[in-house]
Structure 1
């Protein structure tokens, strides 16, 4: 149901108002922003900032499309069975999209509704404790101890750690100097998490850390404490959640009711 709601909300873009800017016309039919978007096929491209030659090419494509379409209609394409089938499919999709937009437009949530949801669901708005770390993974404790000795002698500890990770680590992160990125503490194996959390920023483990994968030497770049986001920080997200929940409920209630009288055959 969550996937359905996400798809539904995304599809509402198709029924938003079009840009009214004048781009010209073909036999009295306006060239719209939607026409341009369909030709460009990339929402990141801003037509208005394109070079004049590129703009001219886009408009020419639109003109050609409209002329060919008008000619096809003149020649009777609307009687073609494939055309009729396609139009029927579009009508069904459009009916669904307009209904979705109308239903969502009806959904209103007060500040109190949103604040109540926040108070009851604070756990949903917690940024977990993050560990920004590197590690070197080897098979034996002796190998790990030797790596620690080399780090102890080094002046630039992290640079040496990166060098050793690239040459000694058996983990897939070796090529990146053993970098694991910023990972929620609870997503790492317990032994690794406990050892990393015991470190201060920019230090490494002095004793090899044994896990199911082997022996680790860990370098902690930074430790970020868990944080509960404030209501102002998540108000917009709460509105989306409430809308999604309400719409999911509406869809389920309606489809459950409609299924009672529908003849449904699934092969």
Structure 2
């Protein structure tokens, strides 16, 4: 199966988060039973309140359109309550394996609460993000390359292609005929990219080439053997501050968490037993 060059060579950096749909979620904590008058349903005498509906909408990040379907949400909350009551009736909360799982959930909640409190005590400031942006600018302004490549299975195939190029063969024609990559139909063209977005052997090879040249030896990566032609180079342009601000915030949040953990470690007595 042919692969897209930017799917095979470029490192994936982003993940897609999908919103949950309304469904029976047995892994969720049981409903909170608060003494309020905004009751929307009762199940065997136990109340489901509007705050439970609001919490469900918030926890599952429902869209405004989904949030309007109170009938479906209440039906889901009723289903959860029925299953919860059945679990209590069967004394599942007393079973050893369930007790262990509940303790794990309790620990996770406390861990998250402790980290949130630490972050609130030491929040990320606008000045801190701007300073980090300036510090990262040189890395974001890396040189960019415009290159083509021919992907083959073996080193010998790559050497044969290089020999053909040195005898005057056209790179794009060879890519169209020989390359296993889907870029073959475009003459092996990979477009513009910073070297850091390519797998390391490929990036190192491109970084050491002169504009207008091709690799003198095949370059091996996990995808096979590459013959590379470097067509052009340019200085990369860094994204503006507002564009990259969410990533800066996430980066600094991880740094704050690391500092919080290091502080805990420095004040703790830790004895790790050898396996």
- Tell me, yes or no, whether TM beats 0.5: yes
Query: Quick one: which of 183, 190, 193 aligns to 1:183?
Result: 193
Mapped pair 1:48 → 2:62: no
- Residues 213-232 of structure 1 correspond to what in structure 2 (within 5 A)? 213=218, 218=229, 220=231, 224-232=234-242
SS of 1:139's equivalent in the other structure is helix
- In structure 2, runs of 5+ residues without a counterpart are 1-27, 29-37, 152-157, 197-202, 220-225
Deviations 1:50-83 (A, max 9, x none): 9x8xx97776555333202112213433322223
Shift of 1:122: 3.3
**Equivalent residue number for residue 240 of structure 1:** 250
**Equivalent residue number for residue 147 of structure 1:** 169
Query: Quick one: which of 209, 212, 215 aligns to 2:217?
Result: 212
Structure 1 residues 71 and 120: alpha-carbon distance in aligned structure 2, compared to 1, 3 A threshold:
closer
Deviations 1:137-187 (A, max 9, x none): 753455224533xx8xxxxxxxxx3x6423134x64665542335332472
**Equivalent residue number for residue 155 of structure 1:** none
Shift of 1:228: 3.8
Distance 1:86 1:191 in 2: 51
Structure 1 residues 244 and 166: alpha-carbon distance in aligned structure 2, compared to 1, 3 A threshold:
same
**Equivalent residue number for residue 99 of structure 2:** 84
**Equivalent residue number for residue 154 of structure 1:** none
- In structure 1, runs of 5+ residues without a counterpart are 1-13, 15-21, 152-160, 199-204
Distance 2:244 2:92 in 1: 52
Scaled by the length of structure 1, the TM-score of the pair is: 0.58
- Residues 1-267 of structure 1 correspond to what in structure 2 (within 5 A)? 25-27=41-43, 28-30=47-49, 32=53, 35=56, 46=63, 48-49=65-66, 60=75, 62-124=77-139, 126-136=140-150, 138-140=158-160, 143-144=164-165, 145-148=167-170, 161=172, 164-169=174-179, 172=181, 175-177=184-186, 178-185=188-195, 187-190=203-206, 193-195=209-211, 198=212, 209-213=214-218, 218=229, 220=231, 224-258=234-268, 260=269, 265=273, 267=275
SS of 2:193's equivalent in the other structure is strand
Root-mean-square deviation (CA, aligned residues, Å) is 4.3
Per residue, is there more helix in 1 or in 2? 1
Distance 1:37 1:223 in 2: 48
Scaled by the length of structure 2, the TM-score of the pair is: 0.57
